[in-house]
Homo-oligomer: A and B are copies of this chain.
Amino acid sequence: MTTREEVARKAGVSVAAVSYVLNNKPGVSDATRQKVLEAIRELDYKPSHAARTLKTKKTNQLTVFVNYLGDAFEAGILNHLEMESRMFGYFVNFQTYHPEREEELRHFMAGRIDGVFLLGQSLRPETLETLHKAGIPVISVMKPVEPGPVTAFVDIDWTASLQKTIRHLKSEGHLRIGLMANLSETHAHRTRTLAFRQAMKAEGLPFGETDILSGGGRLEAAKAAMLDYIRIGRLGEHTAFVAASDLMAIGMLTACRESGIAVPDRLAIAGCENVLMTLQTTPTITVLDYPRPEASVAAVRLMVEAIRGEPVASRLFDSRLLVRQSTHMGG
């Protein structure tokens, strides 16, 4: 097996220079880097990653914790996080986050990754402490419910954005607006529920606990909640609903179609992410256009800065409202 020493001899440089090149550290001239890379190719040198990890503590690997692999909104973010991370030489892997497995995961991550991306999950304090001690930054796309010691997050300004949706619904004559929410205490959707409450208040509209339906963040659960709502005769209490995720908006639309409820004539429905599928449904769905590419790029920049030890600050984006058929009479 070829050793680092042989690569150094072949390239005519020091072993330290080889290490610098292998670990992508600054302080090596381009010419030296070139010589080392040629020697590596010629000798077919394959560094042992386990051995390398012990020495350099850097793995060039970032992990993203996913909430649910079937969510098109999250999939879009993953795509963008991956593309942007590759620009900085990082590999990105994805793992589903299961709160009950957090201890397992904590042990598992040690020494294997340089950074963690969250999709709004609130990790336990002891996990954050472990990561912090190991010098592993945590950057979240979507604001965690408990931002606590998370290094930084990017998200949209949910209150300002949902106010746009509510103002549009008001202009269409809707004054009784419900929310299809994901009521999990630890899910990023909780941020949306809190923001919706604030936005309704800011717009001077009534909103209480009975105006919230629980759709669990999934299409099938939101569909079932809507069918229940219709079955027990609640239709009429609200003339419009906002869903905290597009999948839930699609589920509600399906429930209305199966029950013969015309959308938007009898019930207007809006989503808030702009996944591709909201253009494929009948009617098409009014949504907030969550700037997934921009938010993902910003998250990767924060990660790279945090890994370099630079101070990082959270960032909130604006979000446009895209009015489509599901909320616009005659639309």
A residues at B contact (CB < 8 Å):
46-51, 53-54, 60-61, 63, 69-70, 72, 75-76, 78-79, 82, 91-96, 104-105, 107-108, 110-112, 219-220, 250, 253-254, 257, 276-277, 279-282
Which B residues lie within 8 Å of A111 (CB)? Answer: 48-50
Cα–Cα distance between A276 and B280 once the two chains are bound (Å):
14
Q: Can you report 6 residue pairs joining A to B where beta carbons are below 8 Å apart?
A: A49-B108, A50-B111, A69-B79, A70-B75, A70-B76, A220-B276
Cα–Cα distance between A287 and B281 once the two chains are bound (Å):
18
Which B residues lie within 8 Å of A257 (CB)? Answer: 282
In contact, B82 and A250 (Cβ under 8 angstroms): no
Known A75-B75, A79-B69: A93·B63 in contact at CB below 8 Å: yes
Cα–Cα distance between A280 and B72 once the two chains are bound (Å):
15
Least Cβ–Cβ distance between A25 and chain B, in angstroms: 18
Least Cβ–Cβ distance between A128 and chain B, in angstroms: 16
In contact, A95 and B96 (Cβ under 8 angstroms): no
Cα–Cα distance between A254 and B219 once the two chains are bound (Å):
20
Cα–Cα distance between A253 and B281 once the two chains are bound (Å):
10
Cα–Cα distance between A54 and B50 once the two chains are bound (Å):
6
Known A75-B75, A280-B281, A281-B281: A95·B93 in contact at CB below 8 Å: yes
Cα–Cα distance between A110 and B94 once the two chains are bound (Å):
18
In contact, A95 and B95 (Cβ under 8 angstroms): no
